[in-house]
C-alpha cells in the first residue's frame, strides 16, 4: 500500500505561469483572449454606441449658431359674397387662394448660451470617452481574470482527479491487507472515508470549472480550448507604489471623467446665467399670395426685422435654476475628491495584493516541496510500522491542499498584476501591445460634428 506512487497533476500546477515552458502549437493565449473580448464584448460595444450617441450633443449645440428656415404653403377653395357699402351692389364669386412663404431666423446674441452649450457638449463627449475607457479596462480585467480562473480551476480538477485515483488504489491495497490481517477494519473505514471526501472535492472542482467555462464564453466570446499559460504584466507597471499612486491620480479614467463632469456642471451654471441676459434675433421673411379674396388677385411681401428681448422677471424659476446648478457643481467637485481617494485606495490595495501574491507563490512552492517530502517519509515510516494508515491519508491530503494552494497563488499573482495596471489607468490595448486596432471614438465625432443635415449615420444606417 505505502509503496504506491502518487500520479499527481504537477503539470497542471505549472500551467498558470509562462515560465513553465513554451506554449503548445495553436494554443490560445491570454493576449488573443483579450483581443477577442476587446473586439466583440457586447457590453463594450454597447458603450461605444453610447459614446457615438453623446457625440451628437455637439452638433445639437452648434445648431444654435445656425439660421432656422421655415417654408409655408397654403391652398384651398373659397366662396365670398361682398357688399362694400349700402349704396353699392354686392358681388360674389369663388377663388382658389394659395400662398407660399419663407421665413429665416438668426440668433445674434443669447447671453453666450450657445457657446456655453457647445463647450458643455464637448466636455460631455470627453467624459463619455473616459467612461468608455473605464469599461474597456473593466472588460480587459474581467477577460484576464476569467482566463486565469479557467486555468486555475482546470488545474485543480486535475489535482483532484489524480488524488481520487491514488485514494482508490490506496483503498484497494488497504482492503487486501485487511483480508490477510495486517490492518484493522478501522484502517479500511478511514480509507473509504478519505476516498469519499476526495470524490466530493473532485465533483466540486468540476462544478466550479463548468461555471468558469460558461463565464469564459460570456466575457471572451468562445469556449476555452487548449489555453496557454498566462503571465504577469509587471513590465508595464510603475516601479514603486508612490509612482503608481501619482500616475493614477492623473491617468485613471474615473478621475478624468470626474474632472470633465466638473466642466459640464460649471458650464451649466453659465448657461443658466445666460437666461438673464438679453437676446437679439433677426428675422427675414417673404410671401407670395394669390387670389386671397375677390378684390386681391396677387400680393407679395417681404420683411426684415430685428428683435431685442430683455428678460425682466419670469417668476423666479431662472434664479432657482442658477442656484441649483451651483449646488450641482459643488457636489461634482466633492465627487472628484471622493473619486481620487477611492482611486488611491484601489491602487494601494492592488499593489499590496501583488506584493503578497509574489510571496504566496514562493511560499506555496515551498509548501508543495515540503509536503512531497513529508508524504514520502510517512510512507516509508508506515512500511516500518511507525505510521498508521490515517497518517498516510493525512499526508496525502496535505499534499493535495498544498498543490491547490500553489495553483491559486499563481492565479492570484497574475490577476493582481492586471489589477494594478487597471487601478493605475493603463490597462489598454496600446499599453499591452495587443495585436488589434484600437477603437478611436474621435473618428465618429469628426464625422458628425459639423454636419448640417442628414439622417443617416456615418456607417450608413
Q: Quick one: CA torsion of 338, 341, 346, 347, rounded to 10 degrees?
A: 140
- Count CB atoms within 10 A of the CB of residue 17: 18
The list of the chain residues with pLDDT below 50 reads 1-25
Ordered by start, the domain boundaries in the chain are 68-77+91-110+277-310, 112-276+318-432
How many CA atoms lie within 13 Å of 329's alpha carbon, on the beta-carbon side?
17
CATH fold label, 112-276+318-432: Outer membrane efflux proteins (OEP) (1.20.1600)
- The per-residue pLDDT for 26 is 52
Q: How far apart are CA 116 and CA 270, in angstroms?
A: 7
Instruction: Look up residue 366 and give its three cell numbers.
Output: 515551498
- Ramachandran class of 32: left when φ > 0, alpha when ψ lies in -120 to 50, beta otherwise: alpha
- Count CB atoms within 10 A of the CB of residue 208: 16
Q: How far apart are CA 83 and CA 446, in angstroms?
A: 65
Mapping DSSP to helix (H, G, I), strand (E, B) and coil, where does residue 22 land?
coil
- Note the residue count of the chain: 461
- The per-residue pLDDT for 10 is 42
- Mutual angle of helices 253-274 and 317-383, in 10-degree steps: 170
Out of 2.40.50, 3.90.1210, 3.30.70, 2.20.200, which CATH number does the structure's domain 68-77+91-110+277-310 have?
2.20.200
Q: How far apart are CA 163 and CA 396, in angstroms?
A: 8
Residues 6+ apart with CB under 8 A from 144: 30, 33, 34, 230, 414, 415, 418
- The per-residue pLDDT for 92 is 75
**Are the C-beta atoms of residues 61 and 261 closer than 8 Å to each other?**
no
**Are the C-beta atoms of residues 136 and 312 closer than 8 Å to each other?**
no
For 294-438, list the strands marked E by DSSP.
Answer: 296-309
- Ramachandran class of 358: left when φ > 0, alpha when ψ lies in -120 to 50, beta otherwise: alpha
Residue with cell 450657445: 114
Instruction: Look up residue 236 and give its three cell numbers.
Output: 508595464
Strands 296-309, 78-82: parallel, antiparallel or unpaired by DSSP? unpaired
Give φ, ψ of 350 to 5 degrees: -65, -40
Run of H or E residues at 287 = strand 279-293
- The per-residue pLDDT for 83 is 67
**Are the C-beta atoms of residues 159 and 167 closer than 8 Å to each other?**
no
Strands 68-75, 98-109: parallel, antiparallel or unpaired by DSSP? antiparallel
Q: From residue 23, how far is each of 20, 159, 231, 258, 314 by CA, in Å?
A: 9, 21, 12, 42, 73
Sign of CA dihedral 48, 53, 56, 58: negative
- The per-residue pLDDT for 289 is 87
- The per-residue pLDDT for 170 is 82
Residue with cell 460570456: 218
- Ramachandran class of 43: left when φ > 0, alpha when ψ lies in -120 to 50, beta otherwise: alpha
Which of these, 115, 117, 135, lies nearest to 50 by C-alpha position?
135
- The per-residue pLDDT for 179 is 85
- The per-residue pLDDT for 25 is 46
Give φ, ψ of 290 to 5 degrees: -135, 135
- The per-residue pLDDT for 279 is 93
**Are the C-beta atoms of residues 82 and 92 closer than 8 Å to each other?**
yes
Amino acid at each position: 500500500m505505502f509503496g504506491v506512487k502518487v500520479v499527481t497533476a504537477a503539470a497542471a500546477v505549472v500551467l498558470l505561469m509562462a515560465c513553465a515552458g513554451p506554449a503548445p502549437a495553436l494554443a490560445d493565449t491570454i493576449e488573443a483572449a483579450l483581443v477577442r473580448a476587446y473586439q466583440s464584448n457586447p457590453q463594450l460595444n454597447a458603450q461605444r454606441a453610447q459614446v457615438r450617441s453623446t457625440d451628437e450633443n455637439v452638433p445639437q449645440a452648434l445648431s444654435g449658431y445656425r439660421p432656422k428656415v421655415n417654408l409655408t404653403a397654403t391652398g384651398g377653395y373659397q366662396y365670398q359674397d361682398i357688399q362694400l357699402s349700402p349704396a353699392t351692389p354686392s358681388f360674389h364669386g369663388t377663388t382658389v387662394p394659395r400662398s407660399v412663404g419663407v421665413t429665416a431666423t438668426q440668433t445674434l446674441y443669447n447671453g453666450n448660451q450657445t457657446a456655453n452649450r457647445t463647450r458643455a457638449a464637448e466636455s460631455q463627449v470627453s467624459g463619455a470617452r473616459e467612461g468608455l475607457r473605464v469599461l474597456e479596462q473593466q472588460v480587459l480585467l474581467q477577460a484576464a481574470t476569467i482566463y486565469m480562473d479557467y486555468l486555475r480551476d482546470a488545474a485543480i480538477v486535475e489535482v483532484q482527479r489524480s488524488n481520487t485515483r491514488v485514494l482508490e488504489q490506496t483503498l484497494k491495497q488497504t482492503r487486501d491487507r485487511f483480508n490477510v490481517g495486517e490492518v484493522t477494519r478501522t484502517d479500511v473505514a478511514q480509507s473509504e472515508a478519505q476516498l469519499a471526501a476526495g470524490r466530493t472535492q473532485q465533483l466540486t472542482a468540476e462544478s466550479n470549472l463548468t461555471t468558469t467555462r460558461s463565464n469564459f464564453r460570456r466575457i471572451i466570446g468562445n469556449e476555452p480550448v487548449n489555453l496557454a499559460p498566462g503571465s504577469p504584466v509587471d513590465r508595464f507597471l510603475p516601479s514603486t507604489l508612490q509612482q503608481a499612486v501619482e500616475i493614477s491620480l492623473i491617468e485613471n479614467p474615473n478621475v478624468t471623467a470626474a474632472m470633465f463632469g466638473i466642466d459640464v456642471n460649471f458650464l451649466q451654471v453659465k448657461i443658466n446665467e445666460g437666461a438673464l441676459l438679453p437676446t437679439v434675433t433677426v428675422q427675414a421673411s417673404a410671401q407670395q399670395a394669390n387670389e386671397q379674396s375677390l378684390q386681391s388677385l396677387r400680393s407679395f411681401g417681404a420683411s426684415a426685422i430685428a428683435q431685442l428681448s430683455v428678460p425682466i422677471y419670469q417668476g423666479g424659476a431662472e434664479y432657482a435654476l442658477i442656484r441649483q446648478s451651483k449646488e450641482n457643481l459643488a457636489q461634482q467637485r466633492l465627487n472628484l475628491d471622493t473619486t481620487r481617494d477611492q482611486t488611491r485606495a484601489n491602487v494601494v490595495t492592488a499593489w499590496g495584493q501583488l506584493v503578497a501574491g509574489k510571496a504566496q507563490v514562493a511560499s506555496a512552492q515551498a509548501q508543495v516541496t515540503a509536503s512531497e517530502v513529508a508524504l514520502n517519509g510517512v510512507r516509508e515510516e508506515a512500511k516500518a510500522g511507525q505510521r498508521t494508515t490515517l497518517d498516510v491519508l493525512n499526508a496525502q491530503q496535505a499534499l493535495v491542499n498544498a498543490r491547490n494552494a500553489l495553483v491559486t497563488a499563481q492565479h492570484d499573482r497574475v490577476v493582481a498584476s492586471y489589477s494594478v495596471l487597471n487601478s493605475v489607468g493603463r490597462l489598454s490595448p496600446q499599453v499591452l501591445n495587443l495585436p488589434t486596432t484600437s477603437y478611436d471614438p474621435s473618428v465618429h465625432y469628426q464625422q458628425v460634428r459639423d454636419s448640417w443635415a442628414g439622417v443617416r449615420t456615418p456607417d450608413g444606417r
